[in-house]
């Protein structure tokens, strides 16, 4: 257990539905990251926050994806109008600010879109 928690651990939804995932980082970490991982591939960066500010978003990220970190603590990742191609493991990580700090990953949320 790294101290980063994600909820739910598994989500099955039908195509076209909206889904929301939650990430609770290590409390003293001010940086929070979202990644997506498909089978056989390494995690792919989606976006990251420093405190409540979203500082970077992948250009590959569809407009159907949105993330928030309203109080600089937990974060949510929402996918609207899900597609089968959204099926993946969604990973959250947190770290302290500063260069090259270790990122601590949560267990992930596995999304299956039928």
Partner 1 sequence: LAKTTQPISMDSYEGQEVNITCSHNNIATNDYITWYQQFPSQGPRFIIQGYKTKVTNEVASLFIPADRKSSTLSLPRVSLSDTAVYYCLVDVTGGGNKLTFGTGTQLKVEL
Residues of this chain that interact with partner 1 (CB under 8 A) are 2, 4, 31, 33, 35, 40-45, 48, 55-56, 89, 91-93, 95, 98-108, 110
Dist CA 54 CA 87 (whole Å): 24
Minimum Å distance from CB 70 to partner 1?
21
Minimum Å distance from CB 16 to partner 1?
27
Minimum Å distance from CB 41 to partner 1?
6
* Identity of the residue, 56 or 81, whose beta carbon is nearer to partner 1 in the bound complex: 56
Dist CA 71 CA 68 (whole Å): 9
Contact 8, 109 (CB under 8 A): yes
In 10 A of CB 91, how many CB atoms?
22
């Amino acid at each position: 257990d790294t101290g980063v928690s994600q909820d739910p651990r598994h989500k099955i939804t039908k195509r076209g539905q909206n889904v929301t995932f939650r990430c609770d980082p290590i409390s003293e970490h001010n940086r929070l990251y979202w990644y997506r991982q498909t089978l056989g591939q390494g995690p792919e960066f989606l976006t990251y926050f420093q405190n409540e500010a979203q500082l970077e978003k992948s250009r590959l990220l569809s407009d159907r994806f949105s993330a928030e970190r309203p109080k600089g603590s937990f974060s949510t990742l929402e996918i609207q109008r899900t597609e089968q191609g959204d099926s993946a493991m969604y990973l959250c990580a947190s770290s302290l600010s500063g260069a090259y700090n270790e990122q601590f990953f949560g267990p992930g949320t596995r999304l299956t879109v039928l």
